[in-house]
A and B are shown apart, each in its own frame.
Chain A
Amino acid sequence: MNFMQSEAREKAERASSEPGLSRRQEVPLVPAASIAGRALVTVIAIMTFLAALTAGTAILIADAARGWDQSIAREMTIQVRPIPGHDLGAETAKAAAIARATAGIAEVKPFTKAQSEALLQPWLGSGLDLSELPIPRLIVLKLDRGKPLDAAALRKALDDEVVGASLDDHRFWMRRLAIMAGTVVVVAVVIFILVMIAMVLAVGFATRGAMAGNREIIEVLHFVGAADSYISRQFQRHFFRLGLRGGIFGGGLAILVFFLSGILSAFMRGTAGGTQAQVMFGSFELGSKGYVAIAVIAGAIAVTTGIVSRVIVFRHLRKLG
């Protein structure tokens, strides 16, 4: 059917090419104002921040644990305590000689008296005369990865031949630390999953609220021939945008926190507390892998938000049918 004659049609076509019409953007069918968008963006931002913080911390600890694991495989220490009536220097040299003669040890590095005193400097301060203090000597052993070390035999040889010597096997403590780190990572993953579940539930509530608020629009869309998939896509698009905004805010904030922590950690590197923290968590620098992980989390949260809303709307519409 032609509603108008050809002349009028030409006029209409001219009108349709007016700039105001030609640049028309597709307006969302679900009005943005009908959804508690700001509140949802805030919730998603908080959830993203917590998820990113948890994931970043897990990455830091996992990296540190990997470092500890490598240390276990690399190092051991012999401690020679000063015993009255025995020359500490001679006992240290004897212990070093035994270590050098033991298979599986690649390098033996005895600390001198000055080096041993320097180790105490962070705790006792500089400028003190430590000559009167009974400071034990340390011998750091670098293990040869290619050859297995018989630690029990070395310990026995030291006990038998060197007065005041003890083999400090890091492995026991390092393993406990590594287990603790593994537990922390598992807890972080559980927290991450809980945060994601909470976010999905929040998006679910918001979607149901949006559907209730737009009941008439949905009805009209049905009457003009919109399929359920089309309507749910409209909701998905809207919620994806909200999720993306929340993800960018929350993820951005988490990246900022890790970035500032890295700077702060570098700033505190010379202090005793900073050194201890560095031993535990590494340099506090997340690295590009961590930042990429946070960006992926933010993107995944936006996509999840869109998909969750779409699935909920689609299921609800099918149920209505």
Chain B
Amino acid sequence: MVRFENVGLRYGMGAEILRDISFEIGPQSFQFLTGPSGAGKTTLLRLILLSLKPTRGLISLFDRDAVSLNKDAITGLRRRIGVVFQDFRLLDHLTTYQNVALPLRVQGRDEFAYRAEVVELLRWVGLGERMNVLPPVLSGGEKQRAAIARALIARPELLLADEPTGNVDPTLARRLMRLFAELHKSGTAVVIATHDLALMDQFENARRLVLADSRLHIYE
């Protein structure tokens, strides 16, 4: 599904912030991406999303070489990926409902076709009463859940979540993790970037990709 071979990334003439990164993410796999703050977890997720170009190495996504992809093809691949940003990236002028429905709307789907599904998901993440509220009014945890719902609504084949439980209480964190686990069981590959050891300990069987000193260490 995702394959990195000796990928390196540097900004300008600076030192490489990611060096010789090689790994694969298989279909229906579940893994944590971890490492200290500033290790490059978010950067690695952006490389997977093809929003950054590596300075060296090969990236392939859904069996397609990233170098050969044009913008339309990248758009097509991104529709198969759900992403939860660390800073949520909700659009402040859209309601919770509209934010969550965004991935379906940009695909040109009719609102009547997806409305019930969006409402159902919003209720599931506990935002049933907040669907007509604008993000600035939401608490950090509510924004987090809205961001997760937006990532899940298009039923992605690959979910990338950057610190998805960073702003929620432990109970809700467990609930959200159960949601990710359920998503994984239904066939979605999941990558969760976190430095929350307690969270990772709940999923002892999950693969761990650890970023340290610009390199990636894999613990199966």
Q: Which residues of A contact B (CB under 8 A)?
A: 1, 3-4, 8-9, 11-13, 15-16, 20-21, 24, 26-27, 29, 31, 33, 216-217, 219-228, 230, 317-318, 321
Contacts and interface: CB of A to CB of B under 8 A. Distances in A.
A85 to B, nearest CB: 94
Contact of B106 (A8, A21, A225, A318): A225
Contacts of A219: 51, 89
B79 A225 contact: yes
B123 interface: yes
B111 interface: yes
Contact of A230 (B106, B152, B155): B106
Nearest to A228: B71
16 contacts: A1-B186, A12-B119, A20-B132, A26-B105, A26-B111, A29-B94, A219-B51, A221-B106, A222-B51, A224-B106, A225-B107, A225-B154, A227-B75, A230-B106, A321-B70, A321-B71
Contacts of B111: 24, 26
A221 B79 CA distance: 11
Interface in B104-126: 105-108, 111, 115-116, 118-121, 123-124
Interface in B58-100: 70-72, 74-76, 78-79, 83, 85, 89, 91, 93-95, 97-98
A12 B71 contact: no
B212 interface: no
Interface of B: 49, 51, 70-72, 74-76, 78-79, 83, 85, 89, 91, 93-95, 97-98, 102-103, 105-108, 111, 115-116, 118-121, 123-124, 128, 132, 150, 152, 154-155, 182-183, 186, 188
A118 B190 CA distance: 99
The B interface is mostly helix, strand or loop, or mixed, namely helix
B128 A220 contact: no
A13 B120 CA distance: 8
B83 A226 contact: no
A8 B49 contact: no
A79 to B, nearest CB: 77
A225 B82 CA distance: 9
A11 B119 CA distance: 9
A226 B89 CA distance: 15
A294 B220 CA distance: 72
A4 B186 contact: no
A276 to B, nearest CB: 59
A29 B71 CA distance: 21
Contacts of B95: 27
A217 B71 contact: no
Given A16-B116, A21-B115, A220-B91, A3 B124 contact: yes
Contacts of B78: 222-225
Given A223-B49, A223-B83, A15 B89 contact: no
A224 B124 CA distance: 21
Contacts of B183: 1
B93 A27 contact: yes
